[in-house]
């Protein structure tokens, strides 16, 4: 009985992500700011915050985005 519960708890713990997220996707930027997809891509294109292209995807630095957001009026 206890062994089954311990095994279940161990399997649940293995699913958790052991690191903090360091980037946002453009979709996440769109959701955070409640803006349209083209507007989110326009912000990335203007280099308002640091971003990189990984394969066919754009990743935005969480730190630079958060810093940029904090400076907006």
Task: Quote the CA–CA distance of 48 and 50 in Å, as a whole number.
Answer: 7
Residue at 25 is within a domain: yes
15 pLDDT exceeds 80? no
- Number of structural domains the chain divides into: 1
Q: Is the pTM of this model over 0.75?
A: no
10 pLDDT exceeds 80? no
pLDDT in tens, 40-56: 999 999 999 999 999 99
Burial bucket for residue 28 (CB in 10 Å: 0-12, 13-18, 19+) = middle
Domain that holds residue 42: 21-71
The percent of residues in the chain predicted with pLDDT above 70, rounded, is 77
Beta-bridged to residue 51, according to DSSP, are: 60
Residue at 12 is within a domain: no
Residue at 3 is within a domain: no
């Amino acid at each position: 009985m206890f062994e089954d519960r311990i095994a279940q708890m161990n399997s649940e713990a293995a699913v958790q992500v052991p690191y903090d997220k360091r980037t946002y996707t453009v979709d996440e930027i769109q959701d955070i700011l409640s803006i349209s997809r083209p507007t989110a891509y326009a912000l990335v294109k203007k280099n308002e915050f640091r971003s990189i292209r990984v394969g066919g995807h754009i990743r935005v630095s969480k730190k630079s985005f958060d810093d940029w957001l904090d400076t907006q009026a």
